Amino acid sequence: MSDHPTAPQTTVPIAIEGFTPAEGELPSLVGELPDNLRRMLEESRLDSRPFRARQIFRWIQARSVRDFGLMTDLSADLRQALATNFRIPALKPAGEASSHETRTRKFVLVGTDGARIESVRITTPRRVTLCLSSQVGCGFGCGFCRTAQMGYVRQLTAAEIVDQVHWIRDQAPLPERYNLVFMGMGEPLANYDQVMQAIDLLSHKEGLAIGPRRITVSTVGLAPEIERMGRERPKLRLAVSLTATTDELRNELVAVNRRYPRPRLMQAIKNHVELSGRRVTFEYVLRKGVNDSQADARRLAQFANQVPSKINLIPYNPTGLETFTRLEPEGMRRFAEFLYPRTYAVTIRQSQGKDIFAACGQLAQPAPEKTKTRARRRPGTPKLAPRPRTRPPAKAQER
């Protein structure tokens, strides 16, 4: 996987749109594949034999070691020299909250430029899922999502994406198998190269070796990138946030639909399914009186049935800028029952962590007072710092 043509092969810090590392900041090694690691060691005139680079890679990626001093199979001199030239983590932890309602934990992490992102660990009796962020903020402006209200700040680097997993792993052991979903802050397919480089690192056999089939990339519907992912990474799972069953409503809720309307989106999805041989997941956030009618369900079934697919119904989670109403569980159940068996498969997402604003569409939400008192803080972790309140764009308020 490391020889993927789009993976940046550079030994200088990768130029990321809008990202300027703090002055004097040493380069992080957490975003580097073994070959590049070797080149970086060579440039710093350190021991650059390939097995050395692989040893360091394994410490960082397989064991989540954040400190060169702990790399006990390296000489003391090399450990010292590494610490002088490089650092490991790309992010710093800035807070954590645990949900009392569920076993969900939200982690707040800060980049060297002060940018804040959030990652979520969702633990259910059946599986553990890590929900990762791919951008700081988001530029797609979906009116029902809190991250969108922040606007776009910058891309995350591959190092910052990978580091989210290592920090979560640091806090509590992960089971042998777990899933990754790119459903946190940002649009992963708008940060294609860095997200794919991060996936290469996370799935590397000498690292965490997370199988690509356990990784889901969720997109707002960027048709060309869906096709590209099908061509280049057919094993990854694709989820598409459909949200509306007519172009008229989708244009309003998910503005990118104007660029890639539903027929174009479906063409890309068909193309992806053909290349990957895998079914696609359609995410559908249900809002009372907006997209929950029987006609909506019928159109949703018609759309989804064009490809092998699963429909994932998501209850609308409050964003603090309420313009929509959540559909009550009974309504969700009726909608789901209409869809199944008319479609291949339907699931209702049990949104986790609403009490700590960690559920879908809630990341970047300033923590409300209630949350602060209910959230449990692990000893030794910093408190969630207060976040500046941003005013929602006028458009979102009108809805």
The catalytic site residues sit at 118, 360
Shortest gap between Cβ of 242 and ligand SAH (angstroms)? Answer: 8
d(CA 96, CA 152): 23
Q: Is the peptide bond preceding residue 341 cis, with omega within 30 degrees of 0? A: yes
Helix (H, G, I), strand (E, B) or coil at 399: coil
Contacts of 15 (CB under 8 A, 6+ apart): none
Shortest gap between Cβ of 280 and ligand SAH (angstroms)? Answer: 12
- Judged by CB, which is closer to ligand SAH: 19, or 282? 282
Q: Output the six-digit token pair for 274.
A: 């053909």
Rg (CA), the chain: 21
How many residues are given for the chain? 399
- Judged by CB, which is closer to ligand SAH: 208, or 220? 220
Shortest gap between Cβ of 351 and ligand SAH (angstroms)? Answer: 7
Which residue has its beta carbon closest to ligand SAH? 361
Q: Are 352 and 99 in contact (CB under 8 A)?
A: yes
Shortest gap between Cβ of 119 and ligand SAH (angstroms)? Answer: 12
Shortest gap between Cβ of 241 and ligand SAH (angstroms)? Answer: 4
d(CA 277, CA 234): 8
Shortest gap between Cβ of 283 and ligand SAH (angstroms)? Answer: 4
Q: Are 89 and 163 in contact (CB under 8 A)?
A: yes
Dump the DSSP string for 246-280: SHHHHHHHSGGGGTS-HHHHHHHHHHHHHHH---E
- Judged by CB, which is closer to ligand SAH: 145, or 384? 145
- Judged by CB, which is closer to ligand SAH: 40, or 356? 356
Place of tokens 């792993």: 169
Q: Are 106 and 120 in contact (CB under 8 A)?
A: yes
Where helices occur in 86-157 by DSSP H, the ranges are 146-150
Contacts of 85 (CB under 8 A, 6+ apart): 26, 27, 44, 46
- Judged by CB, which is closer to ligand SAH: 55, or 219? 219
Indicate the helix (H) or strand (E) that contains 133: none
Amino acid at 331: G
- Judged by CB, which is closer to ligand SAH: 19, or 152? 152
- Provide the binding-site residues for ligand SAH, judged by CB under 6 A: 144-145, 183, 187, 218-220, 241, 243, 283, 285, 314, 316-317, 319, 360-361
